[in-house]
Amino acid sequence: MSTISSTRHASASTTTTVSQRIVAAVSASILGICLVYFAGFSHIEAVHNAAHDTRHSAAFPCH
């Protein structure tokens, strides 16, 4: 007969405050806006075309 044993993993309890969540959300938003701005207004044609094709593949109209 085989015995199945279970192991318990110690889970680290993390608590985040509302202010930490707000800081994370604002930081992610700023990073996203910068990336979209860079890709949209880039004079490097390869970067602009890559962003353009990605928008079309995601069914997002851009023009």
Per the structure, the complete domain to which residue 38 belongs is given by: 18-57
More confidently predicted of 15 and 60: 15
Amino acid letter at 57? S
Q: Where are the alpha helices (DSSP H) in the chain?
A: 18-40, 45-57
Q: Is residue 1 over pLDDT 60?
A: no
- The reply to whether 8 falls in a domain is no
Task: Report residue 6: phi and psi, to 5°.
Answer: -110, 140
Domain annotation covers residue 48: yes
Is residue 4 assigned to a domain? no
Task: Give domain status of residue 38, yes or no.
Answer: yes
What global pTM score does this model have? 0.50
Q: 2-54: per-residue pLDDT in tens? A: 666 666 655 555 788 999 999 999 999 999 888 877 776 767 777 777 777 77
Number of domains, the chain: 1
- Match 């962003």 to its residue by tokens: 51
Please indicate, yes or no, if residue 7 is contained in any of the structural domains.
no
